[in-house]
Chain A
Amino acid sequence: MITRVGNWIGKHLMLTLGILVLLYMYIPNFIVALMSFNDSSESRNLYQFQSFTWDNWLNPCAPQGMCESLRVSISIGLLATLVATIIGTLAAFALVRHRFEGRSTMNLVLFLPMATPEIVMGSSLLALFVAAGFGGQLGFWTVLIAHIMFCISFVVVTVRSRLAGLDSNLEKAASDLYANEWQTFWRITFPLVFPGILSAALLAFSLSFDDFIITNLNSGTTVTFPMFVWGAAQRGVPMQVNVIGTLMFLLALGIVIGGEVLSRRRAKGKAVTL
């Protein structure tokens, strides 16, 4: 029996390894989902599954301040994503399409924030805000400014790689076919670069939503969701955090699957099978 299992593993080594890696990656998500149904009210030990309950899902906002912190995080995330995506996309176009003095310096400068440790960036920003006289106004806006700043780099890198892979003859062909600059951009360039912009925006949102170190240093009295979880973890994380975690995971899963289905349908040619 044991040899048979051994044989099977030997024959399917790649598959076995793949399954192990996937398990490694997804067990935490599974635990989070499981714990969201945990009834923790009777026990002191919050990290052990006691009994099944719908309570956490029915009253997700029960822990004081949690939903407020979630609202703050989502607002900052959406705003930072919007601004960083616009600025970053424009910067990516400039870097790919135009040859100007200082272009390679610009590339480096945009890359640096990605390589800088967050703790360094966070404390530098704090020093800057305080030195500029905003020490008393730390909060929503200072966090937003910080998030936009580090998101831009990621947007530029993502959009730039998409744009670099775009055949510039397509735009020439469009202008050859009577499309002016505006029409060429909206009908050819934008639709083709859009997947890159979309993934840049998703990346920016999750970076912003997730950020703790920079946020914690620059938030004043404002509390974001990661800060709430961190604070709550000192006493024991409320089970509702798992509800939010599961929802976020499902949302990400939905976006990825939706995107995949859409691109497959697009590649097939929409009316072929009709």
Chain B
Amino acid sequence: MSLADQARGDLKLTGLHKRYPNGFVAVESLDLVIPQGSFFALLGPSGCGKTTTLRMVAGLEEATKGTIHIGDQDITDAKPYKRPVNTVFQNYALFPHLTIAENVAFGPKRRGAKDPAQEVKEILALTELTEQANKKPTQLSGGQQQRVALARAIINRPDVLLLDEPLGALDLKLRRAMQIELKRIQEEVGLTFVHVTHDQEEAMTMADTVAVMNKGRIEQMGAPYDLYTNPQTTFVANFLGRSNLIKGTVVGREGSGADAVVKVDMHGTIATIKASKVHTDSDHGWVGIRPEKVLIQPEGQAIDAPGAALSGAVVVDASYIGVSTDYTLRMPWGQEITCFEQNTGRRGGLIPVGTKVDVSWRPEFAFLLDSAQDAEAGLEED
């Protein structure tokens, strides 16, 4: 089952562009390098172009412009069945008239593999489907069907495995289990996985690198930790997790190198933001802070954060959800911000609605975004 010695390579998309005949541009001059052996996630809302990108790589959709390479091999115009790429389809697309074993053997047989039966046996064992080998797809549960779709693709040891919302049809509990399962299989077989999803938690759980897509472009790309702690646009800040965005004006810059900071006036209170987390050149910006980083205390009590605190906030809602409590606070200037507080028991109860509180955070967690961007971008529409 060793494949490290085979010649493979990175997946390289250069200027990839897709314009539909009706004029809709699904993917706009996309440049992307996905390193060999990585677990890469394309994350974005529906219609952002992530599935179109995937289909162009699979050869199921023609690129309008640009090229697709795997290593040195140009596969832009290759037929789907000539590409060293396999896909796990969103609805699995299992062949209903074939047994599980026949479904899985479909690829190896077409490629003229030497011993398809042995390969099928191994892959069914890996995906824990040995018992189901002679059943038909309709006799399997959703989770099992999902594993068949995966087995049917990875048995071919493709250079790149494409997963199109592969867990979308499963219920939450099963989805969590399959995320871990997928990750395990990816590590075991060492293939390049490109995973398309709109579920940010799924992307962060599984992928080494996440690219957040919006309107046919990549907004930001990086490790889940970097994306979450240092979003560069309001879209990323809102789509990946949640953010409080507070209007501010830059009043000064201090220090240099790694210690460089920017001072921002937010409605009269000065916040300090690390220069590496400042993503605007203008004097106005959105000060961003994640809800779980927001610290609150009833008015006048000490907060475990250096620097100034915003005072005059009022608790307008407190939702107790077991591990944590979600507070909605109305700031003196009318904006509502969110605070998630772990229920460590330290406080000995909830802060009642109507209480006046002070708000602060550790300065290293804040980020500053361009004020020209929409503060509502990337919020899920209900």
Contact = CB atoms under 8 A, between A and B. Distances in A.
A11 interface: no
Contacts of B156: 177-178
B269 interface: no
A191 B96 CA distance: 10
Nearest to A191: B97
Given A172-B80, A269-B136, A177 B106 contact: yes
Interface in B132-157: 134-136, 138-139, 152-153, 156
B99 A269 contact: yes
Contact of A271 (B107, B111, B134): B134
Given A267-B136, A267-B138, A270-B134, A176 B99 contact: no
Contacts of A188: 95
B87 A180 contact: no
A188 B96 CA distance: 9
Given A178-B111, A267-B136, A173 B89 contact: yes
A174 B89 CA distance: 11
A175 interface: yes
A183 interface: yes
B127 interface: no
Contacts of B93: 167, 169-170, 172-173
A179 B110 contact: yes
A188 B97 CA distance: 8
Q: How large is the interface on B (under 10, 10 to 19, 20 to 34, 35 or more residues)?
A: 20 to 34
Interface in B17-44: none
A176 B87 contact: yes
Interface string A256-274: 0000000000111111100
B106 A174 contact: yes
B203 interface: no
A138 B152 CA distance: 58
B338 interface: no
User: Which of A178, A180, A268: most chain B CB closer than 10 A?
Assistant: A178
A179 B91 contact: no
Interface string B68-91: 000000000001110001110101
Chain A contact surface mostly: helix
Interface string B153-164: 100100000000
Nearest to A175: B80
Interface residues of A, number: 24
B194 to A, nearest CB: 14
Contacts of A167: 91, 93
Contact of B99 (A172, A179, A271): A271
A272 B99 CA distance: 10
B174 interface: no
A192 interface: yes
Contact of B95 (A170, A178, A183): A170
B313 interface: no
Contact of A272 (B60, B106, B134, B138): B134
Nearest to B164: A169
Given A269-B135, A272-B134, A176 B91 contact: no
Interface in A165-222: 167, 169-170, 172-180, 183, 187-188, 191-192
B136 A180 contact: no
Contacts of B89: 169, 172-173
Interface in B232-257: none
User: Which of B91, B106, B139, B153: most chain A CB closer than 10 A?
Assistant: B106
A176 B80 contact: yes
B91 A269 contact: no
B58 interface: yes
Contacts of A175: 59-60, 79-81
B58 A176 contact: yes
Contacts of A178: 81, 107, 110-111, 156
25 contacts: A169-B89, A170-B95, A170-B96, A173-B87, A173-B93, A173-B94, A174-B106, A176-B59, A176-B81, A176-B86, A176-B87, A177-B110, A177-B152, A178-B111, A180-B81, A183-B110, A187-B106, A188-B95, A192-B97, A266-B97, A267-B138, A269-B99, A270-B99, A270-B134, A272-B139
Interface of A: 167, 169-170, 172-180, 183, 187-188, 191-192, 266-272
Given A170-B93, A172-B80, A175-B80, 15 more contacts: A169-B89, A169-B91, A170-B96, A173-B87, A173-B94, A175-B79, A176-B80, A176-B85, A177-B106, A177-B156, A178-B81, A178-B107, A179-B106, A179-B110, A266-B97
Interface of B: 58-60, 79-81, 85-87, 89, 91, 93-97, 99, 106-107, 110-111, 134-136, 138-139, 152-153, 156
4 nearest interchain CB pairs?
A178-B110, A271-B134, A173-B93, A169-B93
